[in-house]
Structure 1
Amino acid sequence: MQSASDTPEVNVDQRQVSLRHWLEHTIQQPIESLNLIHCDASFRRYFRLKSEGQSYVVMDAPPEKENTELFLWVAHAFEKNKINVPAIYASDLDKGFVLLSDFGDRLLQHELTLDSVDKHYAQAINSIVQIQKCPQKAEYTFPSFNEKLYVDQFNLFRYWYLTQGLHLKLNLATNKLLEKLQNDLMRQGQSQPQCCVHQDFHSRNLLLCENGELGIIDFQDAVWGPVTYDITSLLRDCYIEWPIERVYAWLDHYQQRLLDEKMITETSKEQFQYWFDWVGLQRNLKNMGIFTRLALRDGKTQYLSNIPRVIRYAQYVCAKYPELAEFSNLFNEWTKQ
């Protein structure tokens, strides 16, 4: 007879068990299948639910790690402003479960080719403009991309990439240079027009739906921030790279859209590129820290393969502007392959 101590341990996913029980109670119809489809860079997981011939997506966001209320709030604000986000059928804030409509599996990242990219980026730019039309209202006021957020995001680069990833000991002079750069990046971001910003608008957060429209996900961190932030996320995507001439051509198209919509005043192309490049540098440095943290803290080492692309983006901007020369020299030394 096998004793209790001899019984093989079974790794039971208690949250998935709880999720299934919640769904059975919520939809009150047979569950044909419930399969994990995606784990993103946060602690959220997504499952595909099949029931009575219909397909749904279920979000599992542990409440001690993720703010589901914020997700629901932004989803409501975006939906009200005709932005194509998943419909919400049911939610439980205490458990961190949300039942959503299913946009399918066609990530924009995998749909982009040299022939299709112009069409899809035109769609994406339309979505960015629609997001930026979201007003600040009493019932939903987007948090400001304020000094604390700039500092916290820069410190992801300083702490996780430089000190934890590269094991650098930063001396007084280097810390002083980094503090100046942090302040310059914040000043450049805050000096341009501010609007509603998705804050992670890239090819892995856009899905090509059956009707040909783009579906937008992972929007819960939306803020009131720089007008070039989302276009930077799209055109200097951590997961796919394009020739710089095409990037600036798309940027010109985006700028003209904003002018046509009277969302910005007349601004030179050079000034708009300047805004775009500096916001891009701020985001690129942040993402270098995030990818390193995902690998070192969370064991998600697959994100490390994206860092060289992000480094190239940052190096391009640092070489372009003389005021970044001192940082550029250090950065090139730190990141030399």
Structure 2
Amino acid sequence: MTPPADAEAFVREAGWGGAAISPLAGDASFRRYFRVHAGGRSAVLMDAPPQHEDSRPFLAVADHLHALGFAAPRVLARDLDRGLILLEDFGDARMKEVVEADPARETLIYAAAIDLLRDLHRQPPGTLPPYYMAVYQREAGLFPDWYMPAVGLEPAPGYAAAWDEVLAPIADDRSATVLRDYHAENIMLLADGGLGLLDFQDALAGHPAYDLVSLLQDARRDVSPELEEAMLAHYGSVDRAAYAVLGAQRNAKILGIFTRLWKRDGKPRYLAYQPRVWAYLERDLAHPALAPVRAWFDANVPTGKRAAAWADRVA
């Protein structure tokens, strides 16, 4: 990745003159990240082109998390007109790679991530926008909109009605800060032993089970059923029906999003995750609370158009 043309001027104006700027990462959005080195210190440059990305929610949620005592990257400088933000550098110890390098630490690290969620859920969500039914439905709709055409299926009636029925008992719960992408690629292990949070700009006020699903049904790495159960028990009281419903909703959304990333955005690498996401979705659909949605899938998405449709794309 090449830094944006005005990156050098931006970091110089921020007091980082002469800094080296090197690629760090991109993600599923238009955002890109670079590491900035100068005089023995480092920071992270976020490039979020304003024509594609609105960085104001990121800044607002960062302030919200800081006010509650959680570790979001401190903002060192910003220029929203250019879409550039200089952030505190949390280092390279990302949860996913740390756990994969040392599987013996998996349970302990996941327990710490669950502890963070439990602490977060004890705090009010403040003025975050609500996670209401129309948002749930719009996300779930990514499955018929993008996934079904990609595997040669026609969208079928009854999908939204089935989701209305299963989501109705939980859609009005806005008691918790829902980060919405709380998983092993967005959690950093910090030098002080704490956990740093990334990619939280889409946070909403919603049901506390959502981020449990995001962490324990991780599209990007296998989380065994045994670890999932152990961590749900570690969290404490969990509404299992809500957990299954939100799991199914999130996984249907992800299947649609990853297909869209392939078809629209030219990012086929995300298709390798589809079989794993299907495995989570099948597990969620087995819960009695999902009966209407399960019936729709059984009637309209044949087995061969599910995980098997993507198996040859797994890297």
Give the TM-score normalised by structure 2.
0.90
Deviations 1:137-179 (A, max 9, x none): 4xxx10000122112101111101112x223223xxx312x12
For the pair shown, the structure with the greater C-alpha radius of gyration is: 1
Contact 1:188 1:278 in 2 (8 A): no
Q: Does 1:242 align with 2:213?
A: no
Amino acid across the alignment from 2:138: D
* Aligned residue number for residue 335 of structure 1: 306
Work out the CA distance in 2 between the residues paired with 1:243 and 1:16: 41
Work out the CA distance in 2 between the residues paired with 1:100 and 1:282: 32
Contact 1:133 1:196 in 2 (8 A): no
Work out the CA distance in 1 between the residues paired with 2:88 and 2:307: 45
Q: Among 10, 19, 37, which residue is 1:50 paired with?
A: 37
* Aligned residue number for residue 235 of structure 2: 254
Shift in CA distance, 193/87, structure 1 to aligned 2, threshold 3 Å? closer
What is the RMSD of the two structures over their aligned residues, measured on CA atoms? 2.0
The range that moved more, 219-228 or 205-214, is: 205-214
Q: Among 40, 50, 55, which residue is 2:27 paired with?
A: 40
Work out the CA distance in 1 between the residues paired with 2:67 and 2:90: 18
* Aligned residue number for residue 265 of structure 2: 298
The range that moved more, 124-133 or 296-305, is: 124-133
Work out the CA distance in 2 between the residues paired with 1:87 and 1:210: 15
Percentage of matched positions with identical amino acids = 31
Work out the CA distance in 1 between the residues paired with 2:277 and 2:83: 32
* Aligned residue number for residue 208 of structure 2: 227
4+ residue runs of structure 1 moved beyond 6 angstroms?
Answer: none
The count of corresponding residues between Structure 1 and Structure 2 is: 302
Q: Among 15, 39, 57, which residue is 1:27 paired with?
A: 15
Contact 1:157 1:285 in 2 (8 A): yes
Shift in CA distance, 20/244, structure 1 to aligned 2, threshold 3 Å? same
* Aligned residue number for residue 131 of structure 2: 145
Deviations 1:269-294 (A, max 9, x none): 6xx22211111000000000111111
Structure 2: stretches of 5+ with no match in the other structure: 309-315
Could you say what secondary structure the match of 2:34 adopts?
Answer: strand
* Aligned residue number for residue 152 of structure 2: 167
Work out the CA distance in 1 between the residues paired with 2:219 and 2:177: 21
Contact 2:30 2:52 in 1 (8 A): yes
- Deviation of 1:331 (Å): 3.5
Shift in CA distance, 290/162, structure 1 to aligned 2, threshold 3 Å? same
Contact 1:319 1:328 in 2 (8 A): no
Deviations 1:94-131 (A, max 9, x none): 11111111111222111225421111111101221233
Could you say what secondary structure the match of 2:62 adopts?
Answer: helix
Deviations 1:55-82 (A, max 9, x none): 1101000111111111111101101111
Work out the CA distance in 1 between the residues paired with 2:174 and 2:205: 10
Give the TM-score normalised by structure 1.
0.84
- Deviation of 1:28 (Å): 5.0
Contact 2:244 2:287 in 1 (8 A): no
Work out the CA distance in 2 between the residues paired with 1:211 and 1:188: 40
- Deviation of 1:136 (Å): 4.4
Amino acid across the alignment from 2:145: Y
Work out the CA distance in 1 between the residues paired with 2:177 and 2:43: 28
Question: Equivalences for 1:189-204 in 2 at 5 Å?
Answer: 189-190=170-171, 194-204=175-185
Work out the CA distance in 1 between the residues paired with 2:174 and 2:54: 28
